[in-house]
Amino acid sequence: VNPDLHKGAPHAPLLEKQHQKSGRNNNGHITTRHKGGGHKHHYRVVDFKRNDKDGIPAKIERLEYDPNRSANIALVLFADGERRYIIAPKGAVVGQVVANGPEAPIKAGNNLPIRNIPVGTTIHCVEILPGKGAQIARSAGTSAVLLAREGIYAQVRLRSGEVRRVHIECRATIGEVGNEEHSLRQIGKAGATRWRGIRPTVRGVAMNPVDHPHGGGE
């Protein structure tokens, strides 16, 4: 448990209700097995675009836990008085100032177009299409590296080793995603997995022939 995380309630204007799907689609059929139950939680509206506050500095007010993702989130207060959630970068501290836009300095937590980022920089929260919002390298401890720029495209190497080509007008955030020790957590007991909405995984061999290719047999 991170002692720096906010202990109180989340920022209410940035919450939305979430309906539990339990792995079902709009026909009620199970499309993802082993889902259901778990604790209720609200969705935290995270700003993945960060493209309409260029040139307006923001201060990190607090770091918060988010039940909907592995990364922590940061509540930032912009100079114009608006508050938003962003993905908390590695090393983020309360009181830190973050900036958006082409003029932003190359500093962890700042968001700018890839054409303004030096080659070799570690980045996260990378857009695939300009203006769509970050889709790559958003989970805890992840990052990507800007390898090269050629014309209107840039090459970005992901943690998996895959190299993706993205438009230089796509935006990215400098640094890595925080909460990198997320993968080391001890779940402790079966019930803690159930709290997260994950149901038991039954082996195919233990089923009947009607239920699974491995079913049946003595």
Q: How far is CA 142 from each of CA 91, 125, 133, 136, rounded to the nearest angstrom?
A: 13, 9, 17, 9
Residue in 61, 62, 151 with CA at minimum distance from that of residue 114: 151
72 confidence band (pLDDT: 50, 70, 90): very high
19 confidence band (pLDDT: 50, 70, 90): confident
158-191 per-position pLDDT tens digit: 999 999 999 999 999 999 999 999 999 999 999 9
Domains of the chain: 12-182 (2.30.30.30)
Give the count of beta carbons closer than 10 Å to the beta carbon of residue 217.
6
What are the DSSP E strand ranges found in the chain? 15-16, 43-44, 58-64, 73-78, 83-87, 97-98, 111-113, 122-124, 126-127, 134-136, 144-150, 153-157, 163-167, 171-174
**Residue owning tokens 């079902």:** 24
What confidence score (pLDDT) does residue 182 get? Answer: 92
- Alpha-carbon distance 6 to 148, whole Å? 39
- Alpha-carbon distance 67 to 74, whole Å? 13
Query: How large is the average pLDDT for residues 28-34?
Result: 92
pLDDT surpassing 70 at residue 131: yes
**Residue owning tokens 């994950």:** 198
Percent of the chain with pLDDT over 70: 100
Question: Backbone phi, then psi, for 213, in 5-degree steps?
Answer: -60, -25
User: Rounded mean pLDDT of the chain?
Assistant: 93
153-166 per-position pLDDT tens digit: 999 999 999 999 99
Query: How large is the average pLDDT for residues 110-115?
Result: 94
What confidence score (pLDDT) does residue 1 get? Answer: 62
pLDDT surpassing 90 at residue 2: no
**Residue owning tokens 């009607």:** 210
